[in-house]
Amino acid sequence: MLSIAVCDDEKRVCDFLKSASLDLLAEADLDGKVTVFSDGEPLCAAYETGSADFDLILLDITMKTCDGLTAAKRIREKNRDVMIVFVTASAEYVFSGYEVRAFRYLLKPELINGFAGVFRECLRELTKSDEVRFTFQCSNESKSISVRDILFFESDRRKVRLVAAGGREETFYDKLDNVEERLKKEDFVRCHQSYFVNARKIDTIRGGELVMSDGSVLPVSKHRAKETNEAFLWAMR
């Protein structure tokens, strides 16, 4: 079941987003629930007390007590993976969303005509991530992991080290080139000859290195910097 949060201080907007979300979930034959918040503060509190477990947040930017950007930053401190779609009356905050890895923006004047397309795109992304798995052989045993949980691969001579969320690490015999070929349709990028990273798990890029969501600092080759930056921006779209 997908869990969706709607956070907006305008009741009519909340009502529309909740109703439209439930209709589109039914259209996609997916089970889901929608929880409504009228301000960012109770939404943040839900994350800070550990009671929130949303797959998607539809978040207004301009709210009186706790605005959407502030709320998103607080939420990201607790959860780096939840999908955030900003709903706003103005496009002036679009670039600020890069800081919190917003998936999309929806302008309120275009809400009625534009919401269905953005929401369907969110559903495709959420359901796709659950389906794609990476399999590998490790000590004569076949193992599998969800692609969305993988942080990066590191090449070490004839071995590849896989690092995933939750501190999971696996080492198996293969070439990084082969791993790259297998995941070429996913949001991964070769930032260095020895590293192949999940662009959705990049937290920041600075100079000749990047920081992953678990705090790992990895090198970025000069000739791969442009490709890495583009992959990072594309993954945050």
Q: Is the pLDDT of residue 95 over 60?
A: no
User: By CB neighbour count within 10 A (0-12 exposed, 13-18 middle, 19+ buried), where does 107 fall?
Assistant: middle
| Tokens at 85, concatenated | 């779609």
Q: Do 75 and 84 meet the contact criterion of CB atoms below 8 Å apart?
A: yes
Q: What is the Cα–Cα distance from 156 to 158, expressed in whole angstroms?
A: 6
pLDDT at 237: 60
Q: Is the pLDDT of residue 97 over 70?
A: no
pLDDT at 233: 85
pLDDT at 130: 53
Average pLDDT over residues 24-40: 94
pLDDT at 50: 86
Tell me the DSSP string of 172-185. Answer: EE--HHHHHHHTTT
Closest CA to 87 of 17, 28, 138: 17
3-state secondary structure 7-33: ECCCHHHHHHHHHHHHHHHHHCCCCEE
pLDDT at 98: 61
Closest CA to 119 of 107, 106, 108: 106
pLDDT at 131: 60
pLDDT at 170: 95
Find tokens 């692609």 and name the residue: 147
Count the Cβ atoms, other than its own, within 10 Å of residue 108. 18
Per-residue pLDDT reduced to its tens digit, 131-170 = 678 999 988 889 999 898 999 999 988 999 999 988 899 9
What is the chain's mean pLDDT, rounded?
A: 90
Confidence tier at 189 by pLDDT (50, 70, 90): very high
Q: What is the Cα–Cα distance from 23 to 7, expressed in whole angstroms?
A: 18
Average pLDDT over residues 216-225: 96
> Domains of the chain, with CATH numbers?
2-131 (3.40.50.2300), 133-235 (2.40.50.1020)
Confidence tier at 94 by pLDDT (50, 70, 90): low
Confidence tier at 1 by pLDDT (50, 70, 90): confident
Ranges 88-102, 123-137, 157-171: which has the least confidence? 88-102
Find tokens 């076949």 and name the residue: 142
Q: Which residues of 131-164 are buried (b: 16+ CB within 10 A; e: fewer)?
A: eeebebeeeeeeeebebbbbbbbbbeeeebbbbb
Whether pTM > 0.85 for this model: the answer is no
Looking at the DSSP assignment, which residues form a beta bridge with residue 161? 154, 171
What is the distance, to the nearest Å, from the Cα of residue 237 to the centroid of all Cα atoms in its chain? 10
